[in-house]
């Protein structure tokens, strides 16, 4: 069975899923993505990664500010989609939009639902110390990530995983689970929906740059997770010897002292006392500088002090 698919997505995370749609043999008749936004130092209007991928392959692109108007719904209906695939699109789909495709709308979500519904499931899973994450292929409903799960892929969260590394792995898993779903439906199968349990619901609120500040009165293991979760954005920051620095890599170690005080400095890192244990900072960045190792930072300090 040939499928007419409308794809809706915006960031880099969505691009592998768009490629999976194209590779599946489905006909991607249109791509919906957020309007171009100002970016960079020049604040130049910049297309989304999904828009760039769509243009490169000649797929028509739609960029409505909202899908609430009759005009927006009429435009979508004119594409006569069998299915709409939504991956980190960033716009709410009203009930009337969900009802337009013959097979409804699928969503690829980067968590094991019902845990971490919402905007930032990847970083929230690392912050919480979750042992695993994954992606769910979900049949969309009007609620926020409340629909039944059709297929799932799981992956452990490693001790060295960052927001960036887990993002990339889940983006690939999302494309994998979507490809399976499309193949099975085009083979004539109806995917069985599994309603989400009522227990275990958590919400992954959008990241705020204010969350990047490290509070050394907290346990070191929580600060280690914060550093890993916020790499590559918004990047954790903390004060070392009176200077506010961006903290790119750190790990929890044994140690005791007044929270925030420097317990030691060596080529292995800069050790800072925390509410419980200590945090060894191994990569950091000064204001206006670039990311460097703790060893390079200490060498620069010696040079400045000479």
Q: Are strands 61-62 and 83-87 parallel, antiparallel or unpaired?
A: unpaired
Residue ranges of the binding site for (6S)-5,6,7,8-tetrahydrofolate: 111-114
How far, in Å, CA of 225 to CA of 223, rounded?
5
DSSP per position, 78-111 = HT--SEEEEES--S---HHHHTSSTT-EEEEESS
In sign, the C-alpha dihedral spanning 105, 111, 113, 116 is negative
3-state secondary structure 209-225: HHHHECCCCCEHHHHHH
Give CA angle at 51 (234, 4), nearest 5°: 125
Among candidates 200, 65, 174, 67, which has minimal Cα distance to 122?
174
225 Cβ contact list (under 8 Å, min separation 6): 126, 127, 128, 129
Structure tokens at 142: 């009007």
How far, in Å, CA of 111 to CA of 120, rounded?
9
Angle between helices 15-23 and 163-186 (to 10 degrees): 20
Give CA angle at 163 (123, 292), nearest 5°: 135
How far, in Å, CA of 110 to CA of 173, rounded?
9
């Amino acid at each position: 069975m040939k499928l007419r698919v409308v794809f809706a997505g915006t960031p880099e995370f969505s691009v592998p899923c768009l490629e999976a749609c194209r590779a599946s043999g489905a006909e991607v008749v249109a791509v919906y993505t957020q309007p171009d936004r100002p970016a960079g130092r020049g604040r130049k209007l910049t297309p989304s990664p999904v828009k760039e991928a769509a243009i490169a392959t000649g797929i028509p692109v739609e960029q409505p500010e909202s899908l609430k108007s009759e005009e927006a719904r009429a435009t979508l209906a004119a594409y006569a989609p069998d299915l709409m695939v939504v991956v980190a699109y960033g716009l709410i789909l009203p009930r009337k939009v969900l009802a337009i495709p013959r097979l409804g709308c699928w969503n690829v979500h980067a968590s094991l639902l019902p845990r971490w519904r919402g905007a930032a499931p990847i970083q929230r899973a690392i912050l919480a110390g979750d042992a695993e994450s994954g992606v769910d292929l979900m049949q969309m409903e009007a609620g926020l990530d409340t629909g039944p799960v059709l297929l799932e892929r799981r992956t452990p969260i490693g001790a060295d995983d960052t927001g960036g590394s887990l993002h990339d792995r889940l983006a690939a898993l999302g494309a994998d689970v979507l490809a399976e779903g499309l193949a099975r439906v085009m083979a004539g199968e109806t995917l069985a929906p599994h309603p989400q349990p009522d227990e275990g619901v958590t919400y992954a609120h959008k990241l705020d740059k204010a969350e990047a500040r490290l509070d050394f009165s907290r346990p070191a293991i929580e600060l280690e997770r914060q550093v890993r979760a916020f790499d590559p954005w918004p990047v954790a920051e903390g004060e070392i010897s009176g200077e506010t620095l961006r903290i790119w890599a750190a790990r929890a170690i044994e140690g005791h002292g007044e929270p925030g005080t420097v317990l030691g400095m060596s080529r292995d890192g800069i050790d800072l006392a925390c509410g419980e244990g200590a945090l060894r900072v191994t990569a950091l960045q000064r204001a206006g500088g670039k990311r460097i190792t703790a060893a390079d930072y200490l060498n620069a300090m010696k040079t400045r002090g000479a």
